[in-house]
Structure 1
Amino acid sequence: MMKSMMAGFGIVMATSFAAQAADLGRPAPAAVDYVKVCDAYGEGFFYIPGSQTCLKIGGYVRAEYRAWKTDDLFGSVYGLSNGVKGPANNTFTTRVRAQLTLDSRTNTEFGLLRSFTEAWYTVDSGSSSPSVDLWKAYIQLGGLTAGRAQSFFDFYTGDHYASVFETAHSDSQVNLLAYTFSFGNGVTASVSLEDSTTGNAARRMNGFGIYGGNKYPDLVGNVNITQAWGSAQLMGALHHDQPSYNNKSEWGYAVGGGVTVKLPMLGAGDSATLQAAYSKGAVSYATPDPLFGYDFLPKSISLVSPSMNQTVAWSVAAGMTHNWTSKWSSSATVSYLDHDGASSNFLGLGKFQLDYTQIDAGANLVYTPVEGLTIGAEVEYKTAKFSNGNIFLIPNKETDAVVGLLRVQRNF
């Protein structure tokens, strides 16, 4: 019996040693490279495995349902011929949009290296396939910004959704090359070269197809202060107006300033903003959404005329956000635009000059039942009163439109 047990034990040990000897000839299994949280830049970042780069993936899914009321003049002037912006023929439209953002950051010997990408995938009423917009895509290293980003002229872009009608302020994504100087205590100054042909807010207001080639980028600058009380900014831009009918060009310009004040005495996250802008030959810096806009027109019917008249526009905008409770909030924005159109007789129909004032307003009530989900109802209104025009184009009258919408959005 004892001999049998000893023999069995010997067999087991021999088999074990043989297995271990065989394993010595095999490579060790690779260590599992787990994803690690990166807390250096806030919540949501993680280390890309095998690197010192932190990445954050975000975005949203949004559904909107819109009900319209417009008059005939508004539809004809604003180009409302489809369901995207609400035509005279459609009183109900929809929009579904998915946003995806990628934010990567790495500390280097030259400062923070960052790349940011934001893409939109949208399906509107009247379309069976999505449109794709590269909304932002830029690289930052220290104070340098290169790529497609928010114009450095922009400061206040409204408090409410502004899903259909934007209030009068500058709000444009453009291809740019910029540098920001930091002076400490929240004070910065930026200078930017911006491609006016790439702005989503139509940086080149092209009245009647008379805009010529793009010879120079817009030169934009700002001085900004951001502190615990809020923020403020002064900004300016030079914009080149090049006509297609001759080589005589002129420079347009825009200046503006705004201030945002936090209101913790009313509620956490509450704020109020006031902003004003003035432009000549650069309408989109005063408003991204004019009812009728152009930067300039030739002075007379002769297209060989060496001169032009530039449009003057100025705007004032104000807004506020208030959190009623942790789940309920409201935002409202209102603006006034004065558009003094350039006078011209180039159509051969007598003197043409389109002057008007425009009022935009929007307000909403937003419910957040759980973190990341918002359900909001909003009303947006636009009206314009024309004081000068041409009977063949815009008669002297008023026009307006109102849109009510319901938005359901899931952020991640």
Structure 2
Amino acid sequence: MNIKMVLLASAAAFAASTPVLAADAIVAAEPEPVEYVRVCDAYGTGYFYIPGTETCLKIEGYIRFQVNVGPTSDTNDSSWDAVTRGQVQFTAKSDTEYGPLTGVIVLQANADNATDQDTILDSAYLDVAGFRAGLFYSWWDDGLSGETDDIGSNVTLHNSIRYQYETGSFYAGLSVDELEDGVFKAGEEPNNVGVAFGIGGTAGAFSYQVTGGYDFDNEDGAIRAMGTAEIGPGTLGLAAVYSSGPNSYYSIAEWAVAAEYAIKATDKLKVTPGVQYYGNYFGSGSDVPDDFDGLGDAWKVGLTVDYQIVDNFYAKASVQYLDPEDGDDVTTGYFRLQRSF
């Protein structure tokens, strides 16, 4: 025991007398400054400041699974097809002396199966002080809330320049549209241009919109009026459209009228029956006629059901029956599940 204590005391004395060299010192690294993402509430919910800038960014989108039912194009037999879509939208906003400067990019990916897929630029535009330029949907993309009405253009996404004046309950605008992928007649080239206008607003429980467009290459135009009103347990929607001849803004028929009644059965369930009648119905196809003369009429009836499963997740089912005078009747429909974020 005595020898052990002597050895321990000697070791302690040696350690106390040994100098600590500078190379042996342990220096703790200074923590890197962290810049946390700041919420931007100037433009509504969902925006945050891009770190190091005064630009606010919002990221949103949806995932959709849908099963379509209808006749095939080659055999006209009834068939079904499942498709999936993913879409993401980036919206950037910042203050300027002219008002908010907005930039929007929408990317969309569609998959019919593992090998048949495509990714497209669904929209990309800049907007400031009412002026918008880029690739975006025209007023002709708007419609009633159900799936029965067929009162829009075959292609509603254009490279365009437009100005739109807005107040809280009214807007009016004018656009110049490149109609490169629009409707063109035999002997014409798909390089035409069009001018469109949109006027709309709300007045209490009533909303309205008037849209028009003139296709310079086809030398024809179209005009459309829509209105909705809250009546009873739902919303009544009415629409009418007229086209002077087949053109990129409306070529489905010379004229058409549509009506629907969106019934809010519960807080989560909406049922929308609809009907539409076409005068001088052409439909769609590559052999676009010079005019609508001699074409037969058509009518359409359908039902759409929307159900909110939980917040940001809903189901939709729709079935439509079309009976053209100059062709075979057809029944189509789909079932959809969609999660938004």
Q: Say yes or no: TM over 0.5.
A: yes
Who is 2:158 aligned against? 174
Query: How far has the Cα of 1:229 moved from its partner?
Result: 2.7
Who is 1:145 aligned against? 132
| Equivalent residue for 2:112, pick from 107, 111, 124 | 124
* Distance in 1 between residues matched to 2:273 and 2:43, nearest whole Å: 31
8 Å CA contact retained: 2:210, 2:224: yes
Q: For 1:312-391, what aligned pairs fall within 5 Å after superposition?
A: 313-339=254-280, 354-386=294-326
Who is 1:406 aligned against? 335
8 Å CA contact retained: 1:136, 1:148: yes
Distance 1:366 1:254, change over 3 A: closer
Q: Which has the larger radius of gyration?
A: 2
Q: For 1:190-205, what aligned pairs fall within 5 Å after superposition?
A: 190-198=173-181, 203-205=182-184
Query: How far has the Cα of 1:122 moved from its partner?
Result: 1.4
Query: How far has the Cα of 1:271 moved from its partner?
Result: 2.9
Q: Which amino acid aligns with 1:337?
A: Y
8 Å CA contact retained: 1:159, 1:333: no
8 Å CA contact retained: 1:159, 1:320: no
* Distance in 2 between residues matched to 1:213 and 1:131, nearest whole Å: 23
8 Å CA contact retained: 2:215, 2:249: no
Partner SS, residue 195 of structure 1? strand
Query: How far has the Cα of 1:185 moved from its partner?
Result: 5.0
8 Å CA contact retained: 1:168, 1:337: no
Q: For 1:196-345, what aligned pairs fall within 5 Å after superposition?
A: 196-198=179-181, 203-206=182-185, 209-212=186-189, 214=191, 217-241=193-217, 251-263=219-231, 266=233, 270-286=234-250, 290=252, 313-339=254-280
Identity %: 26
- Per-residue displacement from partner, 1:312-368 (whole Å, max 9, x unpaired)? 711212233232222222233322221277xxxxxxxxxx96502122333222222
Q: Which amino acid aligns with 1:235?
A: T
* Distance in 2 between residues matched to 1:67 and 1:181, nearest whole Å: 41
Q: Which amino acid aligns with 1:169?
A: G
Who is 2:83 aligned against? 95
* Distance in 1 between residues matched to 2:139 and 2:147, nearest whole Å: 21
Query: How far has the Cα of 1:205 moved from its partner?
Result: 3.9
* Distance in 2 between residues matched to 1:161 and 1:35, nearest whole Å: 41
Give the unaligned 5+ runs of structure 1.
82-86, 243-250, 291-311, 342-351, 387-397
Who is 1:106 aligned against? 94
* Distance in 2 between residues matched to 1:330 and 1:353, nearest whole Å: 37
Query: How far has the Cα of 1:257 moved from its partner?
Result: 1.7
Q: Are positions 1:158 and 2:144 aligned together?
A: yes
Query: How far has the Cα of 1:123 moved from its partner?
Result: 2.2
Distance 1:365 1:174, change over 3 A: same
8 Å CA contact retained: 1:167, 1:360: no
* Distance in 1 between residues matched to 2:106 and 2:250, nearest whole Å: 25
8 Å CA contact retained: 1:241, 1:281: no
* Distance in 2 between residues matched to 1:36 and 1:205, nearest whole Å: 50
Partner SS, residue 180 of structure 2? helix
Query: How far has the Cα of 1:382 moved from its partner?
Result: 1.7
Q: For 1:6-85, what aligned pairs fall within 5 Å after superposition?
A: 28-68=30-70, 70=71, 80-81=73-74
Partner SS, residue 125 of structure 2? strand
Give the unaligned 5+ runs of structure 2.
1-8, 283-291
Structure with bigger strand share is 2
Distance 1:361 1:196, change over 3 A: farther
Distance 1:222 1:364, change over 3 A: closer
* Distance in 2 between residues matched to 1:227 and 1:41, nearest whole Å: 24
Q: Which amino acid aligns with 2:66?
A: E
8 Å CA contact retained: 1:167, 1:361: no
* Distance in 2 between residues matched to 1:255 and 1:375, nearest whole Å: 33
* Distance in 2 between residues matched to 1:279 and 1:219, nearest whole Å: 15
TM-score, scaled to structure 2: 0.80
8 Å CA contact retained: 1:153, 1:221: no
8 Å CA contact retained: 1:193, 1:217: yes
* Distance in 2 between residues matched to 1:353 and 1:282, nearest whole Å: 11
Distance 1:54 1:286, change over 3 A: same
* Distance in 2 between residues matched to 1:148 and 1:38, nearest whole Å: 26
TM-score, scaled to structure 1: 0.68
